[in-house]
Amino acid sequence: MRVPDGVTYSNKGAYHEIAENERLVFTLQTFDAGGNSMAEVVITVAFAEVDAKTRVTVNARLVSVVEGFAEGMEEGWAETLDRLVSVVGSAR
């Protein structure tokens, strides 16, 4: 993961639930360059059909976090979803 100021963090995670066409649940743990955990998050991504389109809802629950690290999470997810839209196309 690369943040706007150019710092790169390594991540590891595991899927806990995959419900086809409905939901993904996974953990994501982020580490600094020294291998120290910066955050652990449980992420649920839900998919719902609405008017022949797919609504994607992302919920992130912090399990642990270093103070200040999570401040950019919402913006980061928004950027990620915008990139997804640019790949698959959509009329928001």
- Under 8 Å between Cβ of 31 and 54: no
CA atoms within 13 A on the CB side of 91: 4
User: Is 0.85 surpassed by the pTM of this model?
Assistant: no
For the cut 90, the answer to whether the pLDDT of residue 79 exceeds it is no
Closest of 43, 80, 76, 46 to residue 62, by C-alpha:
43
Domain ranges of the chain: 10-88
Assigned architecture for domain 10-88: 2-Layer Sandwich (3.30)
Residues in the chain: 92
For the cut 80, the answer to whether the pLDDT of residue 90 exceeds it is no
Closest of 26, 31, 23 to residue 15, by C-alpha:
26
pLDDT in tens, 27-69: 999 998 899 999 999 999 999 999 988 898 999 999 999 988 8
Confidence category of residue 72, pLDDT binned at 50, 70, 90: confident
pLDDT of residue 74: 80
DSSP-H helix ranges across the chain:
73-88
